Structure formats: structure tokens, C-alpha cells
Amino acid sequence: MQQQPTSRRHVLAAAAGTAAAIGVTAPSSPAAAHTARSATPALSGQLSASLTGRHATSAPLAGSTTGASGHASSSAVRARAAALLQRMSLDEKIGQLFVIEVYGQTADTEHDGNRKLYGVPTPAEVIEKYRPGGVIYFDARRGPDNVREPRQIARLSNGLQRAAVRTGARVPLLVSIDQEGGSVVYRMLEPATQLPGNMALAASRSARDVYDSADIIGTELAAVGINQNYAPVADVNINPANPVIGVRSFGSDTTLCSKFVSTAVRGYHRGGVASAAKHFPGHGDTDIDSHSGLPEIKHTRAELDRIDLPPFRAAIRRGVDTIMTAHIVVPSLDPSRVPATMSRPIVTGLLREELGFGGVIATDALDMGGATADFPPDVAPVRAFQAGCDQLVLAPKLEVAFTAVRNAVRSGTITQERLDESVLRILEHKLRRRLFPSPYVSERRAARIVGSRRHRSQARQITERTITLLRNESGALPLPHSPATVLLTGWGTAPLAALARAVGERRGQRTTTLETGTRPNTTKITEATEAARTHDVTIVLANAAAAGKEDGAAQAQLIESLVATGRRVIAVGVRLPYDIRRFPDVPAYLATYNYGTPSMTALARVLYGEVTPRGKLPVPIPTLDPSDRPLYPFGHGLRY
């Protein structure tokens, strides 16, 4: 794609047209234009405060017609979006459909990842070349390395927005992230406030905690210029073997999930970011990971209506901005057995028409195995768009995908009306999120908001209410405060270290840490068992999910060997609560649903009786035998 040369006069003319479309005053002089373009971190005062502050969702659009509630009327938003749409070229419209990743910590960072994917070195040049509708941030684990610390993230967001509003139709970006909370799907690490995650929150049974958690996450994302969070997860996790959802879900009870999904949407909006319920029509009953394969949901339509769809209905009623589709096959909804993302009966027929969702429909990442297996890069985006999706997230080989959509429009495979329909939704979404007239944030404010003392204090209290005690035989817990030697063993170098610090803060507690790995061998098991014989108490962390298909069998052997010493042994499931199925006779067992430092700190307080365990299982735990009879029922939870 060739980029058209622009002059200062053209920039001002385009800015005036865009401003007219959205109902704001454009700069009338070169000096004023320079001021508008320079409204970056330092500007944050009046412009950014109205866009990214804690109460951003109640601020009206600049220059808009508003009702009594202060919100811009739907007709006013639609009129402005339509006016802007008329000024857009075909390529500018197609660009709005794509959500892409960029490599680097600033807009001007040169990175080989950008050269490989897009043929240009910097994130800003990627934006200028493709004029995408959105970007999605990742941490270094995936490669893009976008999120290090608050000032840096805010600076990156501002730089990318500058590139967007200086290019093509001058439309600001949706800056997205997967920050679900918990220790499975998250991108921003400390100093961002770490929250315990959905299943942990459901264990607290506190709608207030769900709301506050989403509010904190949303507030901190908005402060760094991230305006769209791909959360909450709306899947009902009824399959203990689910390898991709698990603790990301609020649990197995449809009513509880529906209530908390709705509450989370409200909390994200309060925090100032758009929300996205995922993964439609429901990814909770599968034992295949859609990142690597194509799961099949065998629920009947009646079962879908009873189990899977209610949380999405609740999110829609609450005003969720976006719904993300799943790469899953649902034969009861579409006998053709194409993934839901590519299914018109599911996306348009069920979600758009039957459920009446009028917001933006986003695909799950199109580079996942569930999408790429049968749909190559020139087919997947066209098929997803034909199905009814609006946003095409992480399409592999963007140049190929972009060209495929353009060719489909030019050939009539995708009509101009259908293209305009999706672009209009995206533009309306951006207008409602108040990205016009300025999408910028204050770097200074970002550093002050992210990880604030108040947020960390709230998170600590929320996390303490999630710890669930399932088994406590012969008074194994709480631990006495008298001097003792404590062995900390099992899975996870970082969780064990965090727990050792928390336990070691207590007077008279001398700790030894012995990490045994995901699949401890005989040597490790023997070493830990011998160490347990010389300690007053052993605390062992279990995470069967980390063991993959082996499913924690070796970890269970370790725990059984420790119990056989006759010493006091406390087992903790630090991810899925189901792990106790493999060692049901352990004297004491707690579930934390999270292995982050805040959860390990809260665990220590519960172990020593400084906090009473209050969590209740948000899922039933079945036995391992084929009968699936309950070992612990939904709602089980002991207290001291």
C-alpha cells in the first residue's frame, strides 16, 4: 500500500473535515494546529481529564447534543459517524477493521518484529502504513514488549495516537489489551495492581469485589491510554478438564456467572474503558485449547440457552461494548461445523439478530490454531467478516489479509454496504468512548494512578476474601504462632518465594524452600520427603494445569509421600481448585485460584489464622472415578 504525500495545508483541511464530522472545532491556524497536535502527555489537563479520568464514562462528547443524562444521543453519534465515514477512502475503511500488534516500547522504536510483519521498522510507521482501527498490547512473553511501566505505556499510547490522527482519515485508535485479572491471562505486571481473577472473585461471592476489581483494572488501563479491555470472560466453566478457560471463568453456575459478568462490565465502564464479553457462544465445556486446536461444543440448543448464553445476554443488557467470538465448533447452532468466528448463523443469526446485540463484534485472535487450521491468511478475515464480525483481531500476514478484504469488496463478495455497516459501528464506538477530539493521556497522571496505595489496599482486602478452605482434618489449621520450622515445597519458584517471604515475616517462623517442579521425579520426591521429616510443618503448592496432559500425577505422588511422613502437611491448589481429586486424604487443602504475590500473601494470613477463610467453591469438584460423583459440592467452604 502506498502512502499518499500530505502537506500542512492538506492536514489542516482534513482535520477540519474530521472535526466537522464529530462536532468539534478544528484548529483554524497553523499555530493552533500545532497546539492540537502537541496535546500529548503534558496536555492532560482539560482534554485528557474529560477523556481518561475516573468519571470518563459520564462526560458528554464535545459539542454534542446530549440528553438529560449527559450522554450523547444515539442519533447524534450516528450522524457524526456517518459524516466521518463519507470522507473515508476504501483503504481507510478496511484499515478500521483490523486490530494489530506492534513491537516496541515507544512509537518510534525500531524493531525487527515490525519489519518482519509489516515491512517497516517502527510502530508509528506501521500505523501510518495500514491505518488500523486498533492495536493490542502484549508483554515480552509474546514478543511485542509493549508494557513495562506506566509512563512508558502512556508514552507509547500517545505516540501511536499521534500517528493515527495524522494519517488518512485521522481516526484515533482503539488501544486494547487482555487484562482479565488473575495469573493466567494478564499483560501488565507490577506496579499495576494485581487482582485475583474471576474464579477467585466468584469464590468471595461478593458483587462489590467484582465491581471494584474491574473498576481498578479499568482505571489503571485508562490512565495509560488503553481504552478497550478484552474482558470479562463470560464462559461458564463446567468442564474440570478445560485447558483454556478454567479460573478465567466466574465458575460453573450460570446464574452466578451472569450476575458477575454484568457487574464486571459495569465496573470496567466505571473505570473508563470499554468492555468485551468473551468467548461467544461459550467456551466453558471443552477439553481442547483453541489456541492450538479446534474444540467442539456438543451442547444442544436447549443446553446453550440454559448454560452458555445467559452471561452474554446479561452483558448485552448491561451495555457491553464488544463481544468476542470463539474458535469453536457448535453443531447445534451451525451443522456446517465451521468455527463460530466464521459462522454466519452464529455471529449474525444468533448474536446480532436473535440476541439483539448492536455493538462491535470482534474475532478472537485469527492467528490461533482454531482459526488457522482450515482458513489460510487470505481466507480467514474474509470469512469472519462475512459471518458478521466487525473487528479482525491479529490477522496473520496483515498485507495478505488486507488485500484479501479489499479484493472481496472490489469483487462484490463483500458489499460496500456491509463494509460501511461495520466501519460505522467502530466509529460510533470510538465516539461513545470519547476518543475525539483528543485521545491523549498524561504520563504523570499514569504514574500516579497505576498501582496507587488505595488500589493496592483494595486489592489486598479483595484477595483475602477469596481464599477457600476445603479440607481441615484434626485441627491442621490454623498454624500456631509459636516458633516452628516450615518447609515450602511443590510447584512454582516465584509463588514459593512469595509465600516464603510472607511466612518468614512472622516471628519465630524459619522457612526452607525446595521447589520440585511441574513433574517431580523420584529424586525430587525423595528429597522433599526427607526434608519434611525434619520440619514442623510442610506447605506444598500444587498446579496440575501446569503439567499439561500428565495432569499433575507426579505432583500428587509428591503430596502422598509427604503425607505418609505423619508430619503436618498443608496442600494448596494455586490455580485450579480441582487438584485435590488426586490426593483427597491430605490433612488440609486450600484453593487460591491464583499464584501471584498478593494471593500468596493472603494465603499466609489465612494459614496463621490472621484472616478467616471465607471463600466458597464456585465450581463442584468431582472425584476422578468415571461416576463424576462430587468430592466437594458447589458452595463448599470451611471457616475457622
| Active-site residue set | 291, 364
Residue 531 in grid coordinates: 526434608
What SS3 class is residue 604? helix
Please give the Cα distance from 480 to 58 (Å, whole number): 51
Residue 606 in grid coordinates: 489465612
Between 398-411 and 380-387, two packed helices, what is the crossing angle to 10 degrees? 50
What SS3 class is residue 533? helix
SS3 labels along 340-359:
HHHCHHHHHHHHHHHCCCCC
First to last CA, the chain: 66
What SS3 class is residue 50? helix
The CA-based angle 628-632-636, given to 5 degrees, is: 145
Partner residues linked to 392 by β-bridges: 98
Residue 47 in grid coordinates: 482534554
What SS3 class is residue 190? coil
Partner residues linked to 135 by β-bridges: 100, 175
CA count, 13 A, side-chain hemisphere, 252: 20
Residue 425 in grid coordinates: 459501528
Residue 396 in grid coordinates: 496473520
The residue to which cell 473505570 is assigned: 271
Q: With CA atoms as reference, report the closest residue to 437 among 7, 9, 46, 10.
A: 46
Q: How many angstroms separate the most distant Cα atoms in the chain? A: 82
Partner residues linked to 539 by β-bridges: 488, 570
Please give the Cα distance from 256 to 250 (Å, whole number): 7
In sequence order, which ranges of 366-452 are alpha helices (DSSP H)?
Answer: 369-372, 380-387, 398-411, 416-432, 443-449
The residue to which cell 444442544 is assigned: 300
Residue 216 in grid coordinates: 481498578
Please give the Cα distance from 91 to 418 (Å, whole number): 15
Residue 555 in grid coordinates: 505432583
Please give the Cα distance from 431 to 225 (Å, whole number): 16
